[in-house]
């Protein structure tokens, strides 16, 4: 078997094994939650007979191993179960919520990934000079602030203060004020639905996109900078410099392509965060995504929903890291062209 195919197959097998282990941890963790699901559904006034009947109906009296394999088998067949609190099919609810989360993550990635790579290249070009120091200081400051705090700051500045500043700027004239207010009106609540146009959806999630971009920007930028600087120490880079090649051309044609593997790894890790780690952002902006859906049902102790969301998040995280591993393998010439 070709070494590349063998390595890719090993990574895929490891990913499946990790997902299986994650499913065991998720199921065991939800089973250890305090309280009684039947009591939570029926309330404190429920009789012992009604509680016993509901436990039997939900299969809570079955052995944990049996319940685990029934849950996992249903999940593999696309049956995520039924929410205990409202009786709705979890797959239908998750489908809409996951689409919204992916929509938010996609637009955050469209902005953050090119911006982070560009800033990393600029930082390398002006290493230890004021552009490099300014970029590092700003990005490290944003990553040091909790995302909910960044969200509240942006809401205060863009959704509350900016319209007030525009209204107070009488020198702009009424037509200009109206144009600015109509085009730069940011919402503190990110609500979207299928009836909205694409532009309206993007306007609604502008501040959440800014928050997520600021949160993931520093990590990707610093890794891009470090990976390219590591390559810049190679002998062939010095040879290119001695030939008189421009620094930007050296970085673009020689350093960046050879530093792509670690950059792809960190980009994929942050893409996984944009899907899995947006819980706080979705709660702050009341965004109808997977994170908000999970938080709502954790508070209600709706175990099937928590299990389904947890396994979906684990699958997304493991899958994106698996893609990063495969890209790194394919980007390694020693594996692509074995002796």
Give tens-digit pLDDT for 134-175: 998 888 888 888 888 998 999 998 888 888 887 777 666 777
Domain membership flag for residue 42: no
Residue 278 lies in a domain: yes
Q: Do the domain assignments include residue 59?
A: no
Q: How many domains does the chain have?
A: 1
Using the Cα atoms of residue 6, residue 10, residue 16 and residue 19 in order, give the sign of their dihedral: negative
Alpha-carbon gap, residue 263 to 265, rounded angstroms:
5
- Helix residue ranges per DSSP H, 62-127: 64-76, 90-125
Domain annotation covers residue 328: yes
* 32-36, 132-136, 199-203, range with the lowest pLDDT: 32-36
Structural domain range at position 253: 3-34+80-336
The average pLDDT across 101-123 equals 90
Q: Which residue has the higher pLDDT, 339 or 18?
A: 18
| pLDDT of res. 339 | 53
pLDDT tens readout for residues 273-328: 888 878 888 888 989 888 888 888 877 777 888 888 889 999 988 988 888 888 87
> Whose structure tokens read 């944009």?
274
Sign for the CA dihedral angle at 274, 279, 280, 286 comes to: positive
Q: Is the pLDDT of residue 53 over 90?
A: no
Residue with tokens 């062939």: 236
Phi, psi (rounded to 5 degrees) for 82: -125, 135
Task: Write the CATH number for 267.
Answer: 1.10.3720.10
Q: Which of 52-61, 243-252, 290-299 has the lowest mean pLDDT?
A: 52-61
Q: Is residue 88 part of a domain?
A: yes
Output 35 or 220, whichever has higher pLDDT.
220
Per-residue pLDDT reduced to its tens digit, 117-129:
889 888 888 888 8
Whole-model pTM: value is 0.83
CA-based nearest residue to 281, from 271, 291, 295: 291
Among 2-16, 174-188, 274-288, the least confident range = 174-188
Mean pLDDT for the chain? 82
Residues 230, 276 contacting (CB under 8 angstroms)? no
How far is C-alpha 220 from the chain's CA centre? 13
């Amino acid at each position: 078997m070709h070494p590349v195919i063998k390595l890719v197959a090993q990574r895929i097998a490891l990913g499946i094994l990790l997902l299986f282990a994650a499913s065991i941890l998720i199921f065991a963790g939800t089973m250890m939650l305090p309280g009684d699901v039947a009591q939570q559904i029926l309330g404190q006034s429920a009789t012992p007979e009604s509680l016993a009947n509901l436990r039997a109906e939900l299969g809570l009296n079955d052995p944990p191993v049996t319940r685990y394999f029934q849950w996992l088998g249903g999940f593999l067949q696309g049956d995520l179960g039924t929410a205990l609190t409202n009786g709705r099919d979890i797959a239908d609810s998750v489908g809409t919520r996951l689409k919204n989360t992916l929509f938010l993550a996609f637009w955050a990635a469209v902005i953050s990934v090119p911006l982070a790579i560009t800033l990393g290249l600029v930082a390398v070009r002006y290493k230890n000079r004021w552009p490099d120091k300014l970029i590092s200081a700003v990005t490290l400051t944003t990553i040091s602030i909790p995302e909910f705090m960044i969200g509240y700051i942006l809401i205060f500045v863009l959704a509350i203060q900016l319209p007030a500043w525009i209204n107070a700027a009488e020198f702009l004239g009424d037509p200009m004020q109206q144009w600015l207010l109509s085009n730069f009106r940011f919402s503190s609540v990110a609500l979207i639905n299928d009836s909205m146009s694409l532009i309206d959806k993007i306007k609604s999630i502008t501040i959440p996109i800014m928050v997520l971009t600021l949160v993931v920007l520093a990590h990707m930028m610093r890794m891009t900078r470090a990976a390219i600087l590591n390559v810049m120490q190679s002998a062939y880079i010095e040879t290119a410099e001695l030939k008189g090649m421009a620094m930007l051309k050296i970085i673009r044609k020689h350093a960046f392509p050879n530093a792509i593997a670690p950059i792809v790894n960190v980009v994929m890790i942050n893409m996984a965060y944009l899907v899995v780690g947006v819980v706080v952002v979705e709660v702050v902006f009341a965004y109808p995504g997977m994170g908000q859906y999970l938080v709502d049902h954790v508070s209600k102790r709706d175990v099937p929903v928590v299990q389904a969301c947890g396994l979906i998040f684990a699958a997304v995280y493991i899958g994106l890291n698996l893609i990063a591993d495969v890209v790194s393998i394919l980007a390694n010439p020693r594996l692509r062209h074995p002796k």
